[in-house]
Amino acid sequence: MIILDTSAVVALAQGRQAIHRLVDNVAHTPGDWLHMPALCLMPAESMEKGTAGDVIALPEVMVDPLHQTAAATVGSMTVTAGDIDSSGMLGFLWPE
Higher pLDDT, 9 or 86: 9
Where in the chain does DSSP place strands (E)?
Answer: 2-3, 34-37, 61-64, 92-93
User: Given pLDDT bands bounded at 50, 70 and 90, which one contains residue 74?
Assistant: low
pLDDT tens readout for residues 25-73: 888 888 888 888 888 888 888 888 888 888 888 888 888 887 777 767 7
**pLDDT band with cut points at 50, 70 and 90 for residue 84:** very low
59: exposed, middle or buried (Cβ count in 10 Å: 0-12, 13-18, 19+): exposed
Give the pLDDT confidence score for residue 60 in this predicted structure.
Answer: 84
Residue whose C-alpha is closest to residue 10's, from 89, 94, 74, 82: 89
Query: Across-strand partners of 36?
Result: 63
pLDDT band at 86 (very low <50, low <70, confident <90, very high): very low
Smallest CA-to-CA distance from 34 within 63, 13, 10, 57 is with 63
Residue 75: predicted pLDDT: 65
